Amino acid sequence: MTNENCYWHPDRYAGVTCQRCERRVCADCMHTASVGFHCPACISPQSIDSRRQRRSFVRSSNRILNVSEQSLITRTLIAINLLAFLATLFRGGSLSGSGGISQVRIPPDPFIYIVKWASKDIFTIDFGLIGYGRVLVSQESLNFVGVSEGEWWRMVTGGFLHAGFIHLAFNMFLLWMLGSQLERILGGTSYLILYFASLLSGALGVMLLDPLALTVGASGAVFGLMGATVIYQLRRGVSPWSNGIGTLLIINLIFTFARPNISVGGHLGGLLGGLLIGWLIDEINKKRVAGYLSFLVPLIITVALGFSCIWASEYWYDPILG
């Protein structure tokens, strides 16, 4: 324990100091005062009532999905990603990369052909995110695929597939690190809405920037969780640089632009979606909107993101092809 840790939670970093007793407090212990923050021991009775109402709100959110504070939803999401990866391997994929699938432009046709080199390797082709593409099944036969072709499930299923073990492991590590905390703070229902809103906003980014690319990975949703975490901390006076989340976000953004074959649209779209939905959920929670109404607006925005993906897959503009 160091003097930078929370007085009430010695295992947590404390970013602020109580204005009355000068004890250091973490994000869960600090209470907004007229000037600065107060710790649980110095807080006024009115603020204590507000804190109790907040906890009651989160507990009611968890009851809607019948979850506990054991990160059940985050564990379930990780399990689905793992099962999807194993299914990819079972269908002929590869631990080292794209599972035998390559994308090439074949002049003079401007669209991307998804070439199926192995007859068993069809899992990623069937469920990966792509706005418009063609599967070369033989020298004379092509199948049209993509969200624009009515395959709307790709907006979600693409977020549960991964191109390799390292890709999967990195995303699942961040999902556990960020998701388990946000699930406890926001409650089960709000957290699930945040996750899928981030996933769909990432898919929208792909549809806007590169709808012809076959894209897989939970990175859009993970970027959204990073954005929501930053928003949650900033709104409580905690600097994201004090606990590493700001550095983590910057490093991931650098990798997004510096490394090839990374979906810029998916990462930036997920980040922006997480910032928006994270702010909205936190604002609703602070106003203590009761019952199912508290989830209605974020859910409507999430559905709107899905419809926006469908629209963008059909009406995107290519700066070269027009």
At residue 244, what is the residue type? G
Distance CA 222, CA 204 (A): 15
Tokens read off for 93: 């994929």
Distance CA 121, CA 109 (A): 24
How far from the centroid of its chain's Cα atoms is residue 298's Cα?
14
| The predicted structure's pLDDT at residue 243 | 81
Q: Give the three-class secondary structure for 168.
A: helix
Distance CA 130, CA 209 (A): 11
Distance CA 75, CA 68 (A): 12
Catalytic residue positions, numbered:
219, 267
How confident is the model over 85-130, as pLDDT tens digits? 888 777 655 443 444 444 444 444 444 455 544 344 456 667 889 8
If one compares 76 and 244, the residue with the highest pLDDT of the two is 76
In this structure, what are the phi and psi dihedrals at residue 170, rounded to the nearest 5 degrees? -65, -45
Distance CA 37, CA 272 (A): 29
| The predicted structure's pLDDT at residue 41 | 75
When pLDDT is cut at 50, 70 and 90, the band that residue 131 belongs to is confident
| The predicted structure's pLDDT at residue 52 | 52
| The predicted structure's pLDDT at residue 255 | 93
pLDDT reading at 154 higher than 70? yes
Burial group, residue 223, by CB count within 10 angstroms (0-12, 13-18, 19+): buried
| The predicted structure's pLDDT at residue 57 | 44
- Mean pLDDT, range 136-158, rounded to an integer: 81
| The predicted structure's pLDDT at residue 175 | 96
If one compares 30 and 314, the residue with the highest pLDDT of the two is 314
Domains parsed from the chain with CATH numbers: 1-45 (no CATH), 59-84+158-315 (1.20.1540), 97-149 (no CATH)
- Mean pLDDT, range 169-180, rounded to an integer: 94
The structure tokens 């990966």 sit at 128
- Cis bond before residue 319 (omega within 30° of 0): no
Tokens read off for 51: 């804190």
* Bridge partners, residue 117, by sequence: none
When pLDDT is cut at 50, 70 and 90, the band that residue 185 belongs to is confident
In this structure, what are the phi and psi dihedrals at residue 252, rounded to the nearest 5 degrees? -65, -35
Contact 61, 290 (CB under 8 A): no
If one compares 274 and 67, the residue with the highest pLDDT of the two is 274
Closest CA to 142 of 174, 190, 109: 109
| The predicted structure's pLDDT at residue 228 | 95
When pLDDT is cut at 50, 70 and 90, the band that residue 65 belongs to is very low
If one compares 304 and 293, the residue with the highest pLDDT of the two is 304
When pLDDT is cut at 50, 70 and 90, the band that residue 149 belongs to is confident
Tokens read off for 77: 């999401």
Beta-strand runs (E) in 126-222? 133-136, 142-145
| The predicted structure's pLDDT at residue 83 | 92
pTM: 0.74
If one compares 34 and 78, the residue with the highest pLDDT of the two is 78
- Mean pLDDT, range 203-221, rounded to an integer: 91
When pLDDT is cut at 50, 70 and 90, the band that residue 10 belongs to is confident
Mean pLDDT score of the chain, rounded to an integer? 78
- Mean pLDDT, range 173-192, rounded to an integer: 91
- Mean pLDDT, range 142-169, rounded to an integer: 88
When pLDDT is cut at 50, 70 and 90, the band that residue 176 belongs to is very high
Distance CA 316, CA 223 (A): 23
